[in-house]
Amino acid sequence: MEYNYIKALHLIFVITWFAGLFYIVRLFVYHAEAKQKPQPEQDILIQQYQLMQYRLWYIITWPSAVLASFFAFWMLFFTEAGKFWLTQPWMHVKLAFVLLLYLYHVKCHQIFKQLQKNEVKNTSNFFRIWNEGATIILFAIVFLVILKSAINWIYGVIGIFIFSILIMLGFKLYKRIREKNK
Is residue 8 pLDDT above 80, yes or no?
A: yes
Binding residues, as ranges, are 10, 94
The confidence score (pLDDT) of residue 1 equals 67
Q: Where are the domains positioned within the chain? A: 2-180
Instruction: Encode 27-56: b = buried (16+ Cβ within 10 Å), e = exposed.
Output: bbbbbbbbbeeeeeeeeebbeebbeebeeb
Q: What is the pLDDT of residues 31-48, one digit of tens each?
A: 999 999 999 999 999 999
Q: What is the pLDDT of residues 95-112, one digit of tens each?
A: 999 999 999 999 999 999
Binding residues for heme, as ranges, are 10, 94
Q: Is the pTM of this model over 0.75?
A: yes
Is residue 150 pLDDT above 60, yes or no?
A: no
